[in-house]
């Protein structure tokens, strides 16, 4: 039991991190409208070679059941369940002991497992005799990433996981997992080896590895797991940017650069979804440093600048993208919307300034009548004074004549 508590403590930080990411994901998945990207850059297909978006499978939630009753222990053993995260949503039970605690794999190692995935009613949805992945890289569902690191070499374990750590509210098409489905995983740890030295990895294998991580990021993106997508793209970028001690051809260099720019573009799209505008802008700038005429990077950079209120720069950036592809209707629409918004903002600012400083035209129009009325008053006063003076002179003449 002491060892079990230690295992639980080792993974508690992962739980808090996962919960934070899940909360962030749920509050941000609808921040940008469905028409965010333009036609040739379909937001649901953020790369030309990306698989179609995942869709929900099934009609509703799978009702939770007692995992110990619906999934009997294949070996007949009744060992204690380890509550991995302390929330009852991810549990592990040893079916067959392995080679001991010291044989556990470490994060970053390449592992190979035998996997059988079932629904809580016993329906088998997937069987893989030798599934290989890098531990901790997000290459598989969280339930496997979190529990395999607690398994000894040769150990067989039964894992019960909530949908939160599996395929979530969207479910999966491959394997066929309904929405909100709890899963039972039978796992045996077969192998654990150190990851290859990237500096000694042949360029073709490096391109393939980086592409694999990028595709995993695409899968996260389609599911709305934008933080996990950023993590996968970051790993792919590290692979493409690693130095090499082996010869590389110009074609292979171009291949690595192509994967790198795709990752930067896709990372910017994910960062936009997370409202990380500064990070998204940095990703776009990096992509444009390698390919100044990359339309995807220009379009997303224009959107980031607009969201930051930099309308003038955003309009210039979108105009450059439109010049490269004049027939693109969505760039037209985005640019027109932005120009209109910018004009309305300028009009509102001018009205505010007039209100603060006063309207010069109104002042001049009010001054003229005043000036006119002032001159009219002066002439009337002068005429009256003259009449009085003349009357006085006449009176003096009459009096003098009498005298």
CB-based contacts of 322, cutoff 8 Å, min separation 6: 328, 331, 332, 335
Closest CA to 154 of 194, 84, 96, 79: 96
Higher pLDDT, 8 or 402: 402
How many CB atoms neighbour CB 14 within 10 A?
A: 17
| Cβ contact 299:334 at 8 Å | yes
Mean pLDDT of 226-234: 95
The pLDDT-based confidence of 382 (bands split at 50, 70, 90) is: low
CB-based contacts of 7, cutoff 8 Å, min separation 6: 82, 84, 150
Q: What angle do CA 397, 402, 403 make, to 5 degrees?
A: 95
Annotate 106-142 with b (16+ C-beta within 10 A) or e (fewer).
Answer: eeebbbbbebbbbbbeeeebbeeeebebbbbbbbbbb
Encoded tokens for 339: 């120009």
pLDDT digits (tens, 9 = 90+) for 302-312: 999 999 989 89
- Alpha carbon distances (Å) from 209 to 111, 216, 231, 289: 15, 11, 15, 24
pLDDT digits (tens, 9 = 90+) for 83-138: 999 999 999 999 999 999 999 999 999 999 999 999 999 999 999 999 999 999 99
Cα 335 to chain centroid distance, Å, stands at 22
Question: What is the model's pLDDT at position 390?
Answer: 65
- Please tell me what DSSP assigns to residue 180: T
d(CA 326, CA 199): 43
Question: What is the model's pLDDT at position 10?
Answer: 54
β-bridge partners, 105: none
- Please tell me what DSSP assigns to residue 230: H
Question: What is the model's pLDDT at position 7?
Answer: 56
d(CA 146, CA 135): 9
Domains in the chain, ordered, with CATH? 54-195 (3.10.50.40), 199-355 (1.25.40.10)
d(CA 131, CA 110): 10
pLDDT digits (tens, 9 = 90+) for 317-349: 999 999 999 998 888 888 888 888 877 766 666
pLDDT digits (tens, 9 = 90+) for 232-285: 999 999 999 999 899 999 999 999 999 999 999 999 999 999 999 999 999 999
């Amino acid at each position: 039991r002491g060892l079990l508590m230690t295992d639980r403590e080792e993974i508690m930080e992962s739980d808090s991190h996962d919960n934070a990411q899940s909360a962030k994901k749920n509050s941000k998945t609808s921040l940008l409208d469905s028409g965010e990207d333009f036609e040739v850059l379909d937001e649901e297909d953020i790369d030309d070679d990306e698989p179609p978006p995942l869709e929900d499978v099934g009609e509703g939630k799978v009702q939770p059941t007692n995992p110990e009753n619906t999934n009997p222990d294949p070996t007949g053993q009744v060992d204690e369940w380890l509550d991995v995260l302390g929330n009852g949503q991810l549990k592990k039970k040893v079916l067959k002991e392995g080679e001991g605690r010291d044989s556990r794999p470490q994060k970053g190692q390449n592992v190979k497992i035998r996997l059988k995935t079932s629904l809580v009613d016993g329906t088998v949805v997937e069987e893989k005799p030798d599934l290989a992945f890098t531990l901790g890289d997000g290459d598989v569902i969280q339930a496997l990433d979190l529990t395999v690191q607690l398994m000894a070499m040769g150990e067989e374990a039964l894992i019960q996981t909530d949908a939160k750590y599996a395929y979530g509210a969207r479910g999966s098409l491959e394997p066929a997992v309904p929405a909100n489905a709890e899963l039972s995983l039978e796992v045996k740890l077969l192998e654990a080896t150190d990851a290859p030295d990237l500096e000694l990895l042949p360029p073709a294998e490096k391109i393939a590895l980086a592409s694999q991580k990028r595709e995993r990021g695409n899968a996260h993106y389609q599911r709305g797991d934008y933080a996990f997508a950023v993590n996968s793209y970051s790993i792919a970028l590290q692979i493409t940017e690693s130095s090499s001690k082996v010869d590389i051809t110009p074609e292979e260099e171009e291949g690595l650069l192509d994967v790198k720019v795709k990752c930067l573009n896709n990372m910017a799209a994910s960062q936009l979804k997370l409202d990380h505008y500064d990070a998204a802008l940095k990703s776009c700038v990096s992509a444009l440093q390698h390919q100044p005429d990359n339309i995807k990077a220009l379009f997303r950079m224009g959107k980031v600048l607009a969201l930051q209120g930099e309308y003038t720069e955003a309009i210039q950036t979108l105009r450059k993208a439109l010049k490269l592809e004049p027939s693109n209707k969505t760039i037209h629409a985005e640019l027109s919307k932005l120009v209109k918004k910018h004009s309305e903002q300028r009009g509102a600012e001018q009205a505010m300034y007039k209100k603060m400083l006063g309207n010069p035209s109104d002042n001049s129009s009010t001054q003229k009548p005043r000036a006119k009325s002032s001159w009219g008053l002066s002439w009337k006063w002068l005429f009256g004074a003259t009449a009085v003076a003349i009357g006085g002179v006449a009176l003096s003449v009459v009096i003098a004549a009498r005298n």
